[in-house]
Structure 1
């Protein structure tokens, strides 16, 4: 039986390490990328920060456990609203064999800066030019991930998006009670960007996920949901261009 071990969801903080997503996204990226082509004239690769690597279970073999860091940028459509350029996101988690031979996973963190929603709360020029009427989405970990039992996808990963505006309470969240479940599929072949350190680039997407209504938004909750056309069972898409790297736990600096 597969065993999955996860920490409590990490609070998403502003800023991302490197270029920029549930997750997604794991060793499956490397496993599915057997002898990928080496990228020609590859763009500058992101610098990686392993400070979010989680503690691994007691009694496991540290050299066989990897801390994996994925950075991604991309685009997002929720309901009727498209955001053509997401702010960078970074996802960190660990995986490796447990003492009984089953597969273990430990969640680390998701970090991502807010992304401005074009048109703001009103969907017009006033929302683009008035701070009071501005609207941004900040990604957060939804509390569930599985990078082993994901079928043909790169991984299962859940997310929330916090709606940020001077006129909205902090608790205004899309996917608060029912996080968005992403199962990212590969788009094209992976490419080795670097062998030392190991960095692989790949593109991924999900265009079949469901987007729930926002809740916790106070009197403007209806406006937020109308703005995005939520809830939406279809028409939601996310596309990501991602870079992936890892270190085994015997290579990480002591804390």
Structure 2
């Protein structure tokens, strides 16, 4: 398993990608802005409360969007065509003073699996042979740096498999035996937008467990998906985007409680709208 370390980044790197680092970043100028990111961001899932004793002036709500990419799990190659969004609170632990990230919510949509139940191209649109999947959060979210100094993240997932014959509890992986991603950022892909930053994150070392909750068709589901699948036979390449807002902007009532000023303090990883690239 890759290990992540805390590190303070230079101001010019404020901020870095969604699944990048729970580091403290000094405010400063960013590269010149391009166009808006090609995804939509929402802060509707940002909680209106923080840990007891937290200073709202030192907290940000991040909206992370997986806007595309591919996942190869066993014998299934899935192109992501619908966005997956994640909401994360980032700030200082009021007790220890360390940077922490609190995972709030994942939102995802069903994707059609090419080849359907039989793995035959073109059959995925036939009702009984249709096969869909939906990615779900299963824990272990972290932001950090790899031992080599690059950006990285961990996240555990399970994938719901949807077909009328499989029932409503069929998954690849489970909360106790999930797909465990250890993503590394492609530094060359880092791009600044006028409302976000983006980067491609990859993992080719994760293992994929077998299915659970598929009833009498569990063996068939495993055979179709080529599961379980050992490390080195699976791959994830995800295009991620990050946009952030300070808590004092999201919830003005919290501004009066802030003990510090975002213009002078170092903030957790994120992209407050008040900090514009090129400013």
Shorter chain as normaliser: what TM range? Answer: 0.7 to 0.9
Matches within 5 A, 1:72-221: 72=66, 73-99=68-94, 100-125=96-121, 127-148=123-144, 151=147, 152-176=150-174, 177-187=176-186, 188-194=188-194, 197=195, 199-221=196-218
Q: Alpha carbon RMSD of aligned pairs, Å?
A: 2.6
Q: TM-score, normalised by structure 2?
A: 0.73
- Residues 250, 228 of structure 1: alpha-carbon distance in 2 compared, 3 angstrom cutoff: same
Q: Distance in 1 between matches of 2:213 and 2:101?
A: 31
- Residues 161, 179 of structure 1: alpha-carbon distance in 2 compared, 3 angstrom cutoff: same
Task: Give the equivalent residue in structure 1 for 2:51.
Answer: 57
Task: Give the equivalent residue in structure 2 for 1:238.
Answer: 236
Indicate the larger mover: 70-79 or 51-60. Answer: 51-60
Q: Which runs of 5+ in 1 are unaligned?
A: 1-22
Indicate the structure (1 or 2) with the bigger Cα radius of gyration: 2
Q: Distance in 1 between matches of 2:185 and 2:209?
A: 24
Q: Distance in 2 between matches of 1:110 and 1:44?
A: 20
Q: Which stretches of structure 1, 4 residues or more, deviate above 6 A after TM superposition?
A: none
Matches within 5 A, 1:15-26: 25-26=19-20
- SS of residue in 2 equivalent to 1:90: strand
CA-CA distance at 1:226 after TM superposition: 0.8
1:24/1:156 contact within 8 Å kept: no
Equivalent pairs, count: 227
1:29/1:154 contact within 8 Å kept: no
1:189/1:202 contact within 8 Å kept: yes
1:28/1:154 contact within 8 Å kept: no
Q: Which runs of 5+ in 2 are unaligned?
A: 1-16, 254-279
